[in-house]
Amino acid sequence: MACPPAAHPSPERQPSVKVILASADVQRVVDRIAHQILEKTQGAADTVLLGIPTRGAPLARRLAARISTFEDVDVPVGVLDITLYRDDLRRHATRAVGPTQLPPGGIDGKRVVLVDDVLFSGRTVRAALDALNDVGRPASVQLAVLVDRGHRELPIRADYVGKNIPTALAESVKVTLVETDGADEVRLCGGTR
């Protein structure tokens, strides 16, 4: 869904745009998730971060960087493309396949933390679980998301949530990151408020 820039003045009847997290907030949230991963995994030993493209990939790299700053452990990072595992492949024109890069040590027997920007219906995460199944057998799988906007359609929940944002279905949550879009920001667009 197209989302106009937040700086744009929104006169009457224009869809509203609200900045939920500004740049500094995004960094704080990433820092907190990094701490939580360290806490919950007791030092992030045998842990692998797998980002789901597009924006999960840079988020996973940031988390790994923060974790190594906080506790001096190197957490392997990878990218897991889920395009070919989507349940809506046939409803759209053919989607381009993204890269999948597993860390050199693989994921067998490791604790895998999937990283994505927004948790919504849960279908992306389901696809990611199927994809994981085909590339190895992790000891356990956890989920970290920057934003949880609700409206789950599958029995899936996140282990680490940066920010819970109550939304209406008509609204959209737009995450931008420096690596992919030039700036860190989370915006809530659309709907009438």
Partner 1 sequence: MIRHLLSGGDLDAGTATEILDTAAEMATVAGREVKKLPALRGRTVVNLFYEDSTRTRISFEAAAKRLSADVINFSAKGSSVTKGESLKDTALTLQAMGADAVVVRHPASGAPHRLANWLDGSVVNAGDGTHEHPTQALLDAYTMRARLGRLAGLHVAIVGDVLHSRVARSNVLLLSTLGAKVTLVGPPTLIPVDWAARAGVGSAATDADPGTDVCYDLDAVLPGVDVVMMLRVQRERMNDSYFPSAREYARRYGLDGPRLRRLPEHAIVMHPGPMNRGMEITPEVADSPRSTIVEQVANGVSVRMAVLYLLLGGNNR
Q: Which residues bind partner 1 (CB under 8 A)?
A: 81, 84-85, 89-100, 130, 133-136
Nearer residue to partner 1 within complex by CB, 65 or 84: 84
- Comparing CB distances to partner 1, the nearer of 69 and 101 is 101
Q: Which is nearer to partner 1, 13 or 92 (CB)?
A: 92
CB of 145 to partner 1, least distance (A): 24
Shortest gap between Cβ of 24 and partner 1 (angstroms)? Answer: 36
Contact 110, 140 (CB under 8 A): no
Q: How far is the CB of 178 from partner 1 (least distance, A)?
A: 25
DSSP the chain: -----TTS---TTSPPEEEEE-HHHHHHHHHHHHHHHHHHTTTTTTEEEEEPTTTHHHHHHHHHHHHHHHH-----EEE---GGG-TTGGGSSPPPP---B--TT-STTSEEEEEEEEESSSHHHHHHHHHHHHH---SEEEEEEEEE----SSS---SEEEEE----TT-EEEEE-HHHHSS-EEEEE-S--
Cβ 119 to partner 1 shortest distance, Å: 22
Judged by CB, which is closer to partner 1: 81, or 117? 81
Question: Which is closer to partner 1, CB of 12 or CB of 134?
Answer: 134
CB of 138 to partner 1, least distance (A): 13
